[in-house]
């Protein structure tokens, strides 16, 4: 070996395929005058280089620091090898091994492609499927690994000479871009039933004329319409059978967004990131946007155009567009042309279709920022199937998640692959989406589960799915709120025991009651329930969730025996009130609950803010919104007693105090004080439990923490008391997160 000359074998693991990694390595090797080769295997990118020692050092350093924007490096292994005397640096043919690799999520169109899209001299001028190694579809088109064109839905398009040349040229930014295409050889768009030379321009015209158009996008269909037209938005609500749940909006650019919404630099960063999620932004001034878009809400779900098609469309239109998932409420997003034409018939007036097939449905992701950090509430496009790194080892495990906002999770090594948002597992369509996606993940990541985990609730479809395996594989049932807490521990890489605050709608409790206001001492091996809200009745069970005035009446009746005269009772019939009382007295279909979500529902309804719920969480959301920007440090009284060394939180005095104020002070003050009360409650119990257990770490999880006022207030009170506070960021605090917790509890290996 020559002095100062070195040769190394390098393995790079992570998201390093389908992201322009090999050409990047090729260029880097040229830059440092290194000889050797690079190739893809099923599990990594392998490199051999020879050259000056310092150059190799700089080369390895650049791999870490200058990697392509979509690459995510998990680890680099290097090894000295004997000298080969390579003459050049080349990209070698891919090699298959028994490993698996991480797969890039779909990514918003990049600025280079956008420039070409709007350049009249470019051969892809106005071509809606323009993409490159740095952008475009990935996960939604892949059928198997390795990530090669023949394993994607692009296989049916044969590349033309020009595309082929780009694809094979390591110096081209489309080198091995699997979805590479152009107007000559690639997919195309059309308006169903309309012969027209520019279907995108025509779609823009239809939208301007007030029509509802179903648009096939990256991971499924959107229903789109003019967000400034009350009439059109109302028609969309009626046809989609969607009561008050807010619609997401697409705006042309950041400047437009700033017209309507407040935008912090961090929110702007999230909005313009390659993931391009829907970001919940505080409304500055709705101006021409219809109130029907987000009724009774102070926030707007906004996203920017993320496919070339969106950019073309928005460049023709001067108003924001509603972009809501193309489905009937409760059903999964439509995936294919035939399916959309069938299922969206009668909802959409027109269909903008294309022939690039979507292999896996992929909803838009949703997040908000808290303390300038993202908190994801729906995790799909741009994020899944990137894994969560686990703080402990697991055997290969499948967890089936919850019922609402279902996701499943598969673990392998120290990775947890949490699926994209599947939806509410309440119908056959969603169950099919669940099983299809599960098969895809098992294939892509080469996982054969040895353990199955699920919720304790016997009636969840996800539980029933898990129970099929009973007798063949160990099936571990994990309590709902424990799963919430573990999911938050895991994403924060916590190992030691925590005080877990799980505030939630409903979850099956171990004593048969409906839990949801739970404070646990937990680690990965188990939990102890240390405190909870007192049990109160849910007259009518599920009906009480849809009609929260039943909760309010039930709570008042069981706390006071005599129901006080309150304005919200005015339009409820005497008969119904009597029925509710009887249900409670005779214990007919009236489960008991310690749910925090239900407490919010009851208060919201008692204040006449929301008496009937048209979507999950509506009463609580509207109670939060009623607080507007009101700030105060005041709060209501509550009591606590202990039973069998468990703290029971008594809420009677909260109701007394609120009743005292109804009609005398504005709802905004009552809302603010109520939120403060819950935050104070958490803080005081935290202090008590810290004294008892010496644990100083508090984990916040459960759907109630989508409530920004509650989350913000709770974090700040806990910090004042020097707690170390952990919240969710990359995994939803709602039921979309529990699959992660289940998988860890079910599959954990002590070592």
Q: Which of these segments, 329-337, 432-440, 500-508, 608-616, binds Fe ion (CB under 5 A)?
A: 500-508
Segment contacting Fe ion by CB under 5 A, of 261-269, 420-428, 498-506, 564-572: 498-506
Distance from C-alpha of 385 to C-alpha of 102, rounded to nearest angstrom: 8
Least Å distance, CB 268 to Zn ion, is 21
Piece of the chain touching Fe ion by CB under 5 A; list 92-100, 162-170, 496-504, 684-692: 496-504
Q: Does 504 bind Fe ion (CB under 5 A)?
A: yes
Q: What is the DSSP letter of 363?
A: P
Q: How many residues bind Zn ion (CB under 5 A)?
A: 10
Q: Give CA angle at 323 (320, 326), nearest 5°.
A: 160
Q: 270 or 489: whose CB is closer to Fe ion?
A: 489
Q: CB under 5 A: which stretch of 273-281, 330-338, 619-627, 728-736 binds Fe ion?
A: 728-736
CB-CB contact of 249 with 242 (8 Å): no
User: Minimum distance between the CB of residue 597 and Fe ion, rounded to whole angstroms?
Assistant: 9
- Alpha-helical (H) ranges within 226-362 are 230-240, 254-260, 265-272, 308-316, 337-343
Q: Is 331 in the site for Fe ion (CB under 5 A)?
A: no
Quote the CA–CA distance of 614 and 612 in Å, as a whole number: 7
Nearer to Zn ion, 178 or 613 (CB): 178
Residue whose CB is less far from Fe ion, 225 or 698: 698
Pick 22 or 728: Cβ nearer Fe ion = 728
Query: Which of Zn ion, Fe ion, none is residue 501 near (CB under 5 to 8 Å by kind)?
Result: none
- Number of residues forming the site for Fe ion (CB under 5 A): 2
Give the containing element (helix H, strand E) for 622.
helix 618-626
**Residue corresponding to tokens 């469309």:** 313
Build a one-symbol-per-residue string for 728-747: x at contacts with Zn ion by CB under 5 A, - elsewhere: --------------------
**Least distance CB 615 / Fe ion (angstroms):** 16
* Nearest-approach distance from CB 74 to Zn ion, in angstroms: 24
The one of Fe ion, Zn ion, none whose footprint includes residue 735, by CB under 5 to 8 A per kind, is Fe ion
289 is in the binding site of which of Fe ion, Zn ion, none (Cβ under 5 to 8 A by kind)?
none
Task: Provide the minimum distance between the beta carbon of 701 and Fe ion in the complex, in angstroms, as a whole number.
Answer: 8
Rounded to a whole number of angstroms, the minimum distance from the CB of residue 504 to Fe ion is 4
- CB closer to Fe ion out of 202 and 735: 735
Which of Fe ion, Zn ion, none sits in contact with 132, Cβ below 5 to 8 A by type?
A: Zn ion
718 belongs to the binding site for Zn ion (CB under 5 A): no
Find the binder of Zn ion among 39, 58, 185, 559 (CB under 5 A).
Answer: 185
Which of Fe ion, Zn ion, none lies near 286, with the C-beta cut-off 5 to 8 A by kind? none
How is 576-604 classified by DSSP, letter by letter? HHHHHHHHHHTTSS--EE--HHHHHHHHH
3-state secondary structure 337-356: HHHHHHHCECCECEEEEECC
Residue 135 binds which of Zn ion, Fe ion, none (CB < 5-8 A, kind-dependent): Zn ion
In the complex, minimum distance from the CB of residue 708 to Fe ion, in angstroms, rounded to a whole number? 18
Q: Which does 163 bind (CB under 5 to 8 A by kind): Zn ion, Fe ion, none?
A: Zn ion
The listed partner (Zn ion, Fe ion, none) that binds 185, CB under 5 to 8 Å by sort, is Zn ion
**Cα four-point dihedral sign 612, 617, 620, 624:** negative
Q: From the list Zn ion, Fe ion, none, which binds 110 (C-beta under 5 to 8 Å, kind-based)?
A: Zn ion
252 binds, among Fe ion, Zn ion, none (CB under 5 to 8 A by kind): none
Nearer to Zn ion, 160 or 563 (CB): 160
Of the two residues 110 and 552, which places its CB atom closer to Zn ion in the complex? 110
- Residue 17's binding partner among Fe ion, Zn ion, none (Cβ under 5 to 8 angstroms by kind) is none
- Where do the DSSP E strands lie in 444-483? 451-455, 475-478
What is the DSSP annotation of 520-543?
A: EEEETTEEEEEEEEPPEE-TTTHH
CB of 196 to Zn ion, least distance (A): 23
Least distance (Å) between residue 320 CB and Fe ion: 32
The pair of three-digit structure tokens given for residue 356, joined into one six-digit string: 């690039």
Angle at 473 between CA 468 and CA 479, to 5 degrees: 75
Which residue, 405 or 550, has its beta carbon nearer to Fe ion?
A: 405
424 binds Fe ion (CB under 5 A): no
Q: How far is the CB of 267 from Zn ion (least distance, A)?
A: 24
- Token pair 């937990």 is at which residue? 522
Gap between the Cα atoms of 674 and 685, Å rounded: 17
Q: Which does 624 bind (CB under 5 to 8 A by kind): Fe ion, Zn ion, none?
A: none
Binding pattern to Zn ion, positions 145-184, x when CB under 5 A? Answer: ---------------x--x------------------x-x
Report yes or no: 538 and 514 within 8 Å, Cβ to Cβ: yes
Task: Using alpha carbons only, give the angle 115, 117, 121 rounded to the nearest 5 degrees.
Answer: 85
- Per-residue CA distances from 131 to 20, 214, 580 (Å): 12, 23, 59
DSSP string for residues in 120-147: TTSTTTT-TT--BTTBB-SGGGB-SSS-
> With binding defined as CB under 5 A, does residue 735 bind Fe ion?
yes
| Under 8 Å between Cβ of 462 and 402 | yes
What does DSSP say about strands 526-533 and 646-650: parallel, antiparallel, or unpaired? parallel
Choosing among Zn ion, Fe ion, none, which partner's interface includes residue 39 (Cβ < 5 to 8 Å by kind)?
none
Closest CA to 114 of 303, 274, 320, 351: 274
What is the spatial distance between Cα 379 and Cα 58, in angstroms, rounded to a whole number? 37
What is the spatial distance between Cα 10 and Cα 32, in angstroms, rounded to a whole number?
16
Instruction: State the Cα–Cα distance between residues 464 and 458, nearest whole angstrom.
Output: 7
- 530 and 497 in contact (C-beta within 8 Å)? no
Strand partners, 536: 593
Indicate the residue among 76 and 114 with the shorter CB distance to Zn ion: 114
CA atoms of 596 and 500, how far apart (whole Å)? 14
Do 306 and 136 form a contact (C-beta atoms < 8 A)? no
User: Do residues 390 and 524 make contact, with C-beta atoms less than 8 angstroms apart?
Assistant: no
> How does DSSP assign 49-87, residue by residue?
EEEEHHHHHHHHHHHHHS--TT-EEEEEEEEE------S
Residue 361: CB minimum distance to Fe ion, A: 23
Q: Which region, judged by CB under 5 A, interacts with Fe ion, from 262-270, 330-338, 391-399, 497-505?
A: 497-505
- Per CB under 5 A, which of residues 80..139 are in contact with Zn ion? 110, 113, 132, 134-135
User: CB of 711: closest distance to Fe ion in angstroms?
Assistant: 15
Closest approach, Cβ 579 to Fe ion, in A, equals 29
Comparing CB distances to Fe ion, the nearer of 126 and 457 is: 457
Bridge partners for 77 per DSSP: 11
- Choose from Fe ion, Zn ion, none: what does 599 bind? Cβ within 5-8 Å by kind: none
Q: Estimate to the nearest angstrom the gap between the alpha carbon of 109 and the chain centroid.
A: 20
Q: Which residue is nearest to Fe ion (CB)?
A: 504
Find the shortest distance in angstroms from Cβ 309 to Zn ion.
14
Q: Pick the piece of the chain touching Fe ion (CB under 5 A) from 185-193, 466-474, 660-668, 731-739.
A: 731-739
71 in Cβ contact with 16 (< 8 Å): yes
Q: Which is nearer to Zn ion, 110 or 680 (CB)?
A: 110
Q: Binding pattern to Fe ion, positions 688-727, x when CB under 5 A? A: ----------------------------------------
Q: What angle do CA 450, 433, 145 make, to 5 degrees?
A: 60
How is residue 288 annotated by DSSP? T
In the list Fe ion, Zn ion, none, the entry touching 160 (Cβ below 5 to 8 angstroms by class) is Zn ion
**Which residues of the chain form contacts with Fe ion (CB under 5 A)?**
504, 735
Residues near Zn ion (CB under 5 A) are: 110, 113, 132, 134-135, 160, 163, 182, 184-185
């Amino acid at each position: 070996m020559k002095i100062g000359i070195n040769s190394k074998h390098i393995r790079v693991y992570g998201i390093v395929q389908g992201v322009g990694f090999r050409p990047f390595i090729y260029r880097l090797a040229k830059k440092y005058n290194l000889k050797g080769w690079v190739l893809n295997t099923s599990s990594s990118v392998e490199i051999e280089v020879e050259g000056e020692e310092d150059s190799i050092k700089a080369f390895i350093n650049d791999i870490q620091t200058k990697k392509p924007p979509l690459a995510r490096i998990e680890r680099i292994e290097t090894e000295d090898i004997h000298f080969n005397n390579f003459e050049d640096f080349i990209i070698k043919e891919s090699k298959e091994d028994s490993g698996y690799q991480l797969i890039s999520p779909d990514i918003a169109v990049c600025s280079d492609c956008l420039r070409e899209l709007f350049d009249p001299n470019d051969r892809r001028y106005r071509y809606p499927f323009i993409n490159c190694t740095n952008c475009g579809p990935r996960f939604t088109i892949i059928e198997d690994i390795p990530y090669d064109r023949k394993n994607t839905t692009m296989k049916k398009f044969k590349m033309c000479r020009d595309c082929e040349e780009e694809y094979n040229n390591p110096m081209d930014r489309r080198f091995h871009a699997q979805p590479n295409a152009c107007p000559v050889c690639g997919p195309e768009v059309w308006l169903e039933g309309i012969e027209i030379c520019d279907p995108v321009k025509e779609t823009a015209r239809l939208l301007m004329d007030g029509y509802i158009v179903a648009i096939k996008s990256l991971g499924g269909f959107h229903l789109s319409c003019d967000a400034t037209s009350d009439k059109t938005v109302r028609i969309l609500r009626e046809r989609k059978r969607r009561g008050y749940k807010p619609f997401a909006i697409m705006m042309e650019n950041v400047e437009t967004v700033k017209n309507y919404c407040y935008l912090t630099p961090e929110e702007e960063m999230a909005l313009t990131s390659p993931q391009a999620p829907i970001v919940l932004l505080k409304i500055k001034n709705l101006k021409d946007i219809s109130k029907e878009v987000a009724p009774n809400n102070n926030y707007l779900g906004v996203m920017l155009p993320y496919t070339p098609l969106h950019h073309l469309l928005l460049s023709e239109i001067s108003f924001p567009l509603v972009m809501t998932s193309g489905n009937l409420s409760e059903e999964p997003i439509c995936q294919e042309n035939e399916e959309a034409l069938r299922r969206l018939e009668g909802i959409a007036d027109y269909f903008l279709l294309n022939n690039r097939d979507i292999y896996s449905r992929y909803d838009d992701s949703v997040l908000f920022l808290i303390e300038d950090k993202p908190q994801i509430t729906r995790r799909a496009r741009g994020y899944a199937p990137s894994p969560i790194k686990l703080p402990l080892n697991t055997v290969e495990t499948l967890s089936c998640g919850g019922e609402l906002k279902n996701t499943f999770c598969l673990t392998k090594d120290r990775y947890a692959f949490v699926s994209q948002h599947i939806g509410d597992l309440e119908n056959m369509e969603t169950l099919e989406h669940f099983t299809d996606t599960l098969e895809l993940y098992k294939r892509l990541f080469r996982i054969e589960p040895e353990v199955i985990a699920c919720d304790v609730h016997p009636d969840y479809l996800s539980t029933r799915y898990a129970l099929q395996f009973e007798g063949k594989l160990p099936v571990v049932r994990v309590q709902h709120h424990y799963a919430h807490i573990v999911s938050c521990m895991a994403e924060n890489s916590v190992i030691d025991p925590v005080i877990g605050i799980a505030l939630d709608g409903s979850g099956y409790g171990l004593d048969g009651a409906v839990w949801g206001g739970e404070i646990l001492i937990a680690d990965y091996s188990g939990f102890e329930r240390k405190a909870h809200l007192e049990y109160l009745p849910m007259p009518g069970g599920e009906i009480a969730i849809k009609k929260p005035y039943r909760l309010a009446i039930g709570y008042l009746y069981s706390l006071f025996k005599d129901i006080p005269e309150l304005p919200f009772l005015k339009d409820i019939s005497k008969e119904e009130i009597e029925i509710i009382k009887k249900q409670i007295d005779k214990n007919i279909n009236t489960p008991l609950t310690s749910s925090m979500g239900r407490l919010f529902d009851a208060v919201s309804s008692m204040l006449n803010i929301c008496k009937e719920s048209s979507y999950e969480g509506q009463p609580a959301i509207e109670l939060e919104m009623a607080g507007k920007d009101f700030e105060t440090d005041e709060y209501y009284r509550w009591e606590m007693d202990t039973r069998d060394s468990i703290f029971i939180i008594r809420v009677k005095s909260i109701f007394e105090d609120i009743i005292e104020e109804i009609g005398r002070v504005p709802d905004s003050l009552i809302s603010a004080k109520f939120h403060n009360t819950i935050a104070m409650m958490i803080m005081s119990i935290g202090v008590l439990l810290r004294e008892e257990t010496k644990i100083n770490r508090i984990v916040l999880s459960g759907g109630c923490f989508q409530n920004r006022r509650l989350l913000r207030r709770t974090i700040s009170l806990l910090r004042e008391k020097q707690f170390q506070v952990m919240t969710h960021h990359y995994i939803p605090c709602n039921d979309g997160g529990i699959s992660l917790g289940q998988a860890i509890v079910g599959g954990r290996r002590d070592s």
